[in-house]
Amino acid sequence: MRLALGYVPLIDAAPLIAAVEGGFAAAEGLAIDLISEPSWATLRDKLALGHLDGAHMLAPLALASALGISGPQTDLAVPLGLNLNGNAITVSRPLWAEMAPEADDLDTIARAFSRVARVRVTQNRPLTLGTVHPYSSHTYQLRMFAARGGLDLDGAARMVVIPPPWIAEALRTGQIDGFCVGSPWNSVAVAEGYGRIAALGCELAPDCPEKVLALPAYAAAASAPLVRAVRRAGRWCAAPENQRELAGLLARPGHLGTDASLVRRALAGTVVVDPDGTERHAPRFVVFGAEAERPLPAHADWILAEMERAGQITPTPALVARARAMYRTNVYDAAG
């Protein structure tokens, strides 16, 4: 069976990439064409229109697509989670200097950020923050970060959507003051000298449901070979002894096209947060494998709660039931 699977160039696409490159898909009789997409909106639309057979997808976007509130309404199923965590919030070096936090704990940094944001509003030059999609944990984590500092982000900053591969460049050129994105793009901004990581996503929302394997609902019942292949690949990605090989694989020009050392540090949970080399150790910075793979309806509940807090939906019992039904634990269990 030949399948076309889409992904956006991020470290958390690792289970799909490893499934193909590591032979896990071939062992299940699958020939998979990996299609790199520049943005989540493009990937969403290609999946909706049948140009892709499945995708590495933002969990909130998969849900929003299924509910018909982002792009064409698409009946999707989630038979497998790909990862937990993996994001960070990065600000420009000038903004970090303006914040000048007195300590390096999350609350102090969030208060410093919120103080600057309030001042900027009074000066009619509000902060501009980049997110990868309105329906994303990145959007919700930016809101959480502001709230830690006592700031309601609505009206206090301008939020713009920028595809992950381009978001660091937008910071470099001054189009935005900060962003939330998945690895490796935070580390790229730090390594190139114009960004400072202010907060890790795993601190703001521990074990946040991040990316999922999203399939057309009609294909879910026959997806056992694909689920097995990606699950085995995800567990391979999770093994510490495979980090060096995985980092080299992901860093290739055909995938992320970046420095393998940046990828490896993210996989190990050792994140360099400023150009001076300051490190933060976060063992659960990104989580693959058994802890991440079971498609839990509770993840849908978490996403719906964040959507409601962001003013994107008003939950009803019917909406909640539809969202929870996307998470196909029965398909996952049947895959063996």
Question: What digits encode the pLDDT tens for the residues 248-264?
Answer: 999 999 999 999 999 99
Whether the predicted pLDDT of 240 surpasses 90:
yes
| The CATH number of domain 2-84+209-256+283-334, selected from 3.30.450.80, 3.40.50.720, 3.40.190.10, 3.20.20.70 | 3.40.190.10
Q: What is the mean pLDDT of the chain?
A: 97
pLDDT of 316: 95
Spatial neighbors of 92 by CB under 8 A, at least 6 apart, are 171, 174, 176, 177, 178, 194, 195, 196
pLDDT at residue 16 above 90? yes
Residue positions counted in the chain: 336
| 3-state SS assignment for residue 290 | helix
Please compute the mean of the pLDDT values over residues 78-107 and round it to a whole number: 98
Question: How far is residue 64's CA from residue 8's CA, in Å, rounded to a whole number?
Answer: 18
Closest C-alpha among 37, 35, 34 to residue 24: 34
Fold equal for 2-84+209-256+283-334 and 87-204: yes
pLDDT over 90 percentage in the chain: 99
* DSSP E strand stretches across the chain: 2-7, 31-36, 54-58, 76-81, 84-85, 87-92, 127-131, 157-161, 178-182, 195-200, 211-216, 270-272, 279-281, 286-287
Q: What is the mean pLDDT of residues 74-90?
A: 98
Q: Is the pLDDT of residue 41 over 90?
A: yes
- Contact at 8 Å (CB) between 5 and 56? yes
- Residue 78 · residue 214 · CB < 8 Å: yes
Average pLDDT, stretch 27-41? Answer: 97
Per-residue pLDDT reduced to its tens digit, 180-227: 999 999 999 999 999 999 999 999 999 999 999 999 999 999 999 999
Residue 48: band (very low, low, confident or very high) from pLDDT cuts 50, 70, 90: very high
Q: Work out the widest C-alpha separation in the chain, in whole angstroms.
A: 61
Tokens of 189: 């901004």
Q: What is the pTM of this model?
A: 0.97
Phi, psi of 210, rounded to the nearest 5 degrees: -110, -80
Give CA–CA dist 61/85, Å, rounded.
16
- For residues 295 and 301, what is the distance between their CA atoms, to the nearest angstrom? 12
CATH architecture of 87-204: 3-Layer(aba) Sandwich (3.40)
Residue with tokens 């460049």: 169
**Residue 1 predicted with pLDDT over 90:** no
> How far is Cα 50 from Cα 190, in angstroms, rounded to an integer?
38
Q: Does position 102 have pLDDT exceeding 90, yes or no? A: yes
Structural domain boundaries in the chain: 2-84+209-256+283-334, 87-204
Tell me: the pLDDT tens digits for 295-336? Answer: 999 999 999 999 999 999 999 999 999 999 999 999 999 998
The mean pLDDT value for 132-159 works out to 97
Q: What is the pLDDT of residue 32?
A: 98
pLDDT in the model for residue 336: 83
For residue 274, pLDDT beyond 90: yes
Q: What is the DSSP track for 15-46?
A: HHHHHHHTSHHHHTT-EEEEEE-S-HHHHHHH
Q: At a CB cut-off of 8 Å and minimum separation 6, what does 182 contact?
A: 10, 11, 12, 86, 87, 132, 138, 164, 210
Whole-number Å distance between alpha carbons of 83 and 14: 9
